[in-house]
Amino acid sequence: MFCNAAGRGAPFEVALVGVDGPAEIQAQNGLRMRVSEGLGRPDAVLVPGGGWGNRAERGAWAQARRGVLPERLVALSGSLRWVASVCSGATLLAEAGLLRGRTATTNRGLLAELAASGVTVVTNRVVDEGTVVTAGGLTAGLDLGLWLVAREAGVELAQQVATGLEYEPRGEVWRHGATEPVLPPT
């Protein structure tokens, strides 16, 4: 969503980065990606999930146990416009303390665990708490991306992105205790 929006004029510079710098990353289901740079000092961060529910050797659970990524996120949090998460990335944010006193969502299989960490949990696909935005399971990440494009670059551009990708947003965003559609109807 962000790259598509940038191609349509949004002021986004998007990079896939690794907390330890350039590396090959293997996703939970075997997909391998090469990241060419480290986390640096971005103005926004999107934390992916995966690997929490099954306590995998790679993914959000492993990163939380290792501690480096949560520490970096905490260190950056004061200078970030926003930090967002998809799926079990929210549980990593909770471990870092970034969801303390906030409302959030995550993969439905982890809602109870997220609630047990002291987070107010809702089942909306996207939860916008201003500087922290969370999304439910994997496909809710599409709605999160459109929501953030609309929030940061305008609803019209987000609608162009959705149309160009032939994607119809679904569900509602929780914000300030109320719900609203990911994108207003056209």
In this structure, what are the phi and psi dihedrals at residue 26, rounded to the nearest 5 degrees? -115, 120
Round to whole Å and give the CA distance between 1 and 145: 5
pLDDT > 80? residue 90: yes
| Chain-centroid distance, C-alpha 167 | 18
What confidence tens digit (pLDDT) does each residue in 2-35 have?
A: 999 999 999 999 999 999 999 998 777 788 999 9
For 63-77, letters b (16+ CB in 10 Å) and e give bbeeeebbebbeebb
Task: Tell me which residue of 130, 141, 128, 111 sits closest to 173, measured CA to CA.
Answer: 128
Domains, the chain: 2-181 (3.40.50.880)
Q: What is the pTM of this model?
A: 0.95
What confidence tens digit (pLDDT) does each residue in 113-144 have?
A: 999 999 999 999 999 999 999 999 999 999 99
